[in-house]
């Protein structure tokens, strides 16, 4: 939703002040959640209660207040929505990626979309001028990512990666969230600096863990985008600004390049992410170049290990995997 320059309007200013006060209460609740003085359920209830008014105003494109110009109604609703998304996203940043509360916060966003649909259907708004996807959730996610990347806050990026990946996979806002996914992989996996790739592997791992199938689908569909490939990706032959199989294979190749990293913990994580990349095609029955070759080689090695041992079974974690098997 578009904002406009704010003219002098005492009623509008008063409304904004009230909105800012409510947002400060949400921020205070987040701090209390962080310090342990407020329960997650209590904070969740606060966020849940914040959904109704901004979504209602956005769906109906009007507010119950009369300001000096119609534009101010839209501007106020834009502020309402922005505060709503900020409250949810800031909470996600301090919520561990493995916490079940992450799913609850994602459900809140889904609920806001469903509530929007219900309002429009009840009021016979069959062709809304402003769809839910234009309410700013995706853009707020992208803005938060850009801030965290500048701050190099890896723990918060891990939490946000898990949330964003699950939101993308669940079909919440394909256009905006797929852009964020492509932006992330471009910024990190296509970086000139190998240390950036290595340092952010824990964050990349959250993307792969929760969105590998969706990312592969976007690449196979060649989903359009506006993110120019990084220099390393261009060297590999990536020549499109959107998703592509070539880009997917380059991200896999970048992981292969870190397999001989001096830090053993980095190597362990690289192999985990590599197997997640490989599994995306194998699990969905789609033939990605090199995956079957790799899987066949891995299976043979595991059978040989089983025959030479007294174990009843072996798993890929027991194998000294060679990532270059995909190319042999």
pLDDT at residue 85 greater than cutoff 80: yes
For the chain, give the percent of residues with pLDDT over 90.
Answer: 67
Residue 66 banded pLDDT, cuts 50, 70, 90: low
Q: Once rounded to an integer, what is the mean pLDDT over residues 288-313?
A: 84
pLDDT at residue 228 greater than cutoff 70: yes
DSSP letters of 235-259?
Answer: HHT---SS--HHHHHHHHHHHHHTT
**Which pLDDT score is estimated for 147?**
97
**Which pLDDT score is estimated for 27?**
83
Ramachandran region, residue 76 (left: φ > 0; alpha: ψ -120 to 50; beta: rest): alpha
pLDDT at residue 6 greater than cutoff 70: no
Q: Once rounded to an integer, what is the mean pLDDT over residues 87-106?
A: 96
Q: Once rounded to an integer, what is the mean pLDDT over residues 29-57?
A: 90
**Which pLDDT score is estimated for 2?**
46
Could you give the CA distance from residue 211 to residue 229 in angstroms, rounded to a whole number? 20
Q: Once rounded to an integer, what is the mean pLDDT over residues 220-227?
A: 96
pLDDT at residue 3 greater than cutoff 60: no
pLDDT tens-digit map of 155-171: 999 999 999 999 999 99
pTM above 0.85, yes or no: yes
For the chain, give the percent of residues with pLDDT over 70.
Answer: 94
DSSP letter, residue 94: T
Could you give the CA distance from residue 57 to residue 46 in angstroms, rounded to a whole number? 19
Backbone angles phi, psi at 317, to 5 degrees: -70, -15
Contact 293, 225 (CB under 8 A): no
DSSP letters of 127-154?
Answer: S-SS-GGGSSHHHHHHHHHHHHHHHT-H
**Which pLDDT score is estimated for 5?**
42
pLDDT tens-digit map of 281-300: 999 999 999 999 988 888 88
**Which pLDDT score is estimated for 242?**
98
pLDDT tens-digit map of 171-215: 999 999 999 999 999 999 999 999 999 999 999 999 999 999 999
For residues 315 and 108, the model is more confident at 108
Lowest mean pLDDT among 224-233, 269-278, 288-297, 306-315: 306-315
**Which pLDDT score is estimated for 4?**
42
pLDDT at residue 274 greater than cutoff 90: yes
Lowest mean pLDDT among 84-98, 124-138, 202-216: 124-138
Crossing angle, helix 70-93 and helix 137-151, to 10 degrees? 50
**Which pLDDT score is estimated for 62?**
84
Return mean pLDDT, the chain.
90
- Most confidently modeled range among 9-13, 121-125, 130-134, 181-185: 181-185
């Amino acid at each position: 939703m578009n904002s406009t320059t704010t003219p002098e309007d005492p009623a509008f200013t008063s409304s904004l002040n009230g909105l800012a006060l409510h947002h400060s209460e949400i921020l205070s609740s987040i701090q209390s959640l962080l310090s342990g003085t407020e329960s997650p359920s209590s904070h969740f209830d606060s966020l849940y209660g914040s959904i109704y008014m901004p979504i209602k105003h956005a769906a109906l494109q009007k507010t119950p207040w009369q300001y000096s110009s119609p534009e101010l109604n839209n501007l106020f609703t834009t502020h309402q929505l922005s505060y709503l998304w900020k409250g949810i996203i800031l909470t996600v940043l301090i919520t561990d990626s493995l916490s079940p509360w992450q799913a609850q916060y994602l459900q809140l966003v889904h609920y806001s979309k469903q509530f929007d649909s219900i309002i429009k259907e009840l009021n016979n708004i069959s062709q809304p001028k402003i769809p839910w996807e234009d309410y700013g959730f995706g853009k707020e996610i992208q803005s938060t990512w850009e801030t965290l990347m500048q701050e190099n806050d890896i723990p918060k990026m891990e939490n946000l990666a898990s949330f964003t990946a699950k939101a993308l996979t669940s079909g919440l806002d394909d256009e905006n969230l797929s852009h964020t996914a492509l932006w992330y992989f471009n910024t990190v996996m296509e970086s000139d600096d190998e240390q950036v790739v290595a340092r952010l592997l824990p964050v990349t791992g959250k993307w792969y863990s929760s969105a590998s199938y969706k990312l592969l689908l976007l690449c196979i569909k060649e989903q359009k985008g506006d993110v120019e490939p990084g220099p390393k990706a261009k060297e590999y032959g990536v020549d499109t600004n959107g998703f592509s199989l070539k880009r997917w294979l380059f991200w896999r190749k970048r992981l292969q390049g870190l397999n001989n990293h001096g830090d053993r913990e980095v190597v362990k994580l690289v192999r985990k992410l590599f197997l997640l990349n490989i599994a995306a095609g194998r699990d969905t029955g789609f033939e990605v170049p090199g995956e079957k070759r790799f899987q066949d080689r891995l299976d043979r090695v595991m059978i040989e290990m089983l025959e030479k041992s007294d174990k009843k079974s072996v798993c890929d974690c027991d194998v000294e995997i060679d990532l270059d098997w995909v190319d042999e």
